[in-house]
Amino acid sequence: MSFCFLLIGKRKAPFSVISGNVGTRQNDKLCYNAIYMETLVALCGVGTEKVVANELRKLKLPIRDAGIGRVRFQADIPGCYRALLCLRAADRVLLEAANFPAGDFDALFEGIRAVDWERYIPPNRGIRITKVRIGKSRLQSVTGVQRAAHKAAAARLCERYHCSRLPEGDGAAELRVYLEKDQASVLLDISGEPLFKRGYRTEGGIAPLRETTAAALILLSAWRRKFPLYDPFCGSGAIIIEAALYAWDAAPGLGRRFALSELSLGDSGIEKSLREELLGRVDFSRPVRIYGSDADHRAIALAKSNMARAYALARGETLDQGILNPPALPCLPAIRVLRMEDAAAPAGIPAGFIITNPPYGKRLGALAEAEAVYRSMANIGRRFPGWKLALITDHPGFESHFGKRADSCREMTNGALDSYFYQYEGRVCP
């Protein structure tokens, strides 16, 4: 305990210095992990930064700043696990290992070699520089920066681990180098697989929406569990499944592992107790009014099996290959084959939210078909009087085909695709 007090005034001291002073390495790590604040970057779709910032605020993780497609925040190791497990709209979480001026290759090399890489990367692990991004800097060569960064981090690790070279191949720790105005930011990926890979979707169907984008739409639309939600183009189910996870208060990362656990900073004790806490919070007791439909039988079969897997993961189960259909329970969304043109608000259900992702022109390679679907959506307001309509598409001219101007339109990305999020605030009916 006294050791923990000692550390409070030394938040920026590296682990290697602290651990040399007091106690066993395991005890040091426990105290260290609970106190030391790391700087992290949550990567997200362009246009969803505010959503991620709000999520971080709710998780009580202090925000430092935000830029296009990223939010920088601080967290100790429990906070890192909380971010990985709970953020719904972030695509990745990276740990900023260093930030320093790097106007030339020498400065870049020395800056990266000076990082305590052994604090992050255990012995017998390789490293891979997975991304280099350069903006307004004197260093211009992406491959040159990539090579120098790898050489510098490897030099430090080989010196500390007394080896002549690092292992190659699978399982390497993944680093990114971002150079902006001659300032280098070196980031270690603690997510592993991107966070939209929740573990419940094995196949995407046609033009699937990223799970993190689907979650961002739900949060942007201000839908709450007490309202009905309907996706008439549900495809493999990203929107309705993310809505169900949100309604159950289920952390989206419960069904997967993270790269953090394979790093020196990883702490299985912290992770286990946080997972238990989050599982204990999942609430299936209240019925939900979430509905999904699609004209395509195969898409509906996929949505149902994805839903079943999401439900199993939210219950803390490991996936059984045999799961195909979810049980019919009041806490689960209702999913069926139906053309959007034939859908109408269920009798006795108050007005709710249509949140959807109609066919994409570019993605499906069928612009004319997509535009015809937008035109056939024109009378959806008569079939869903008073419902709010929120939809994402890559078509910048959706409103002219639909025949009504949206109350708001937000530009955002869905993966590599530039998209538009149109919202009609319950005045769809002419």
Ligand X SMILES: C[S@@+](CC[C@H](N)C(=O)[O-])C[C@H]1O[C@@H](n2cnc3c(N)ncnc32)[C@H](O)[C@@H]1O
- Residues lying near ligand X in the complex (CB under 6 A) are found at 205-209, 232-233, 235-236, 238-239, 294-296, 299, 339-341, 357-360, 373
Q: Residue 294 CB, nearest distance to ligand X (Å)?
A: 5
**CA 372, CA 179: separation in Å to the nearest integer?**
45
Nearer to ligand X, 61 or 340 (CB): 340
The backbone region for 365, taken as left when phi is positive above 0, alpha when psi lies in -120 to 50, beta otherwise, is: left
Helix (H) or strand (E) holding 228: none
Smallest separation, CB 215 to ligand X (Å): 12
Compute the distance between CA of residue 393 and CA of residue 234 in angstroms, rounded to an integer: 13
Q: List the 290-294 sheet strands across, edge first.
A: 334-337, 290-294, 229-231, 353-356, 388-393, 417-424, 408-414
Ranked by CB distance to ligand X, the top (closest) residue is 235
Min dist CB 374 to ligand X, Å, is 10
CB of 228 closer than 8 Å to CB of 289: yes
| Choice between 122 and 415, CB closer to ligand X | 415
Distances (CA, A) of 268 to 80, 174, 280: 13, 20, 18
- For the record, the structure tokens of 11 come out as 């938040």
**Which residue, 79 or 235, has its beta carbon nearer to ligand X?**
235
* Burial class for 296, CB neighbours closer than 10 Å (0-12, 13-18, 19+): middle
CB of 361 to ligand X, least distance (A): 10
> HSE on the CB side for 229, CA within 13 Å?
30
Minimum Å distance from CB 417 to ligand X? Answer: 10
Question: 162-166: long-range contacts (C-beta < 8 A, 24 or more apart)?
Answer: 163/123, 166/125, 166/126, 166/127
Q: How far is the CB of 299 from ligand X (least distance, A)?
A: 4
* Nearer to ligand X (CB atom), residue 152 or residue 219: 219
> Rounded distance, CA 88 to CA 181, Å?
31
**Encoding tokens for residue 234?**
């549900």
The distance of closest approach from Cβ of residue 256 to ligand X in the complex, given in angstroms and rounded to an integer, is 18
- Of the pair 316, 415, the CB lying nearest ligand X is at 415
Quick one: 18 or 303, whose CB is closer to ligand X? 303
CB-CB contact of 231 with 357 (8 Å): yes
Residue 235 or 266: the one with the smaller Cβ distance to ligand X is 235
* DSSP type of residue 349: P
- State which residue, 44 or 239, has the beta carbon closest to ligand X: 239
| 185 vs 212, beta carbon nearer ligand X | 212
Q: Please, what is the minimum distance in Å from the beta carbon of residue 398 to ligand X? A: 13
Radius of gyration over alpha carbons of the chain, in Å? Answer: 24
Nearest approach, Cβ of 52 to ligand X (angstroms)? 20
Helix (H) or strand (E) holding 74: strand 70-75
Question: Shortest CA distance to 344 belongs to which of 387, 307, 304, 303?
Answer: 387
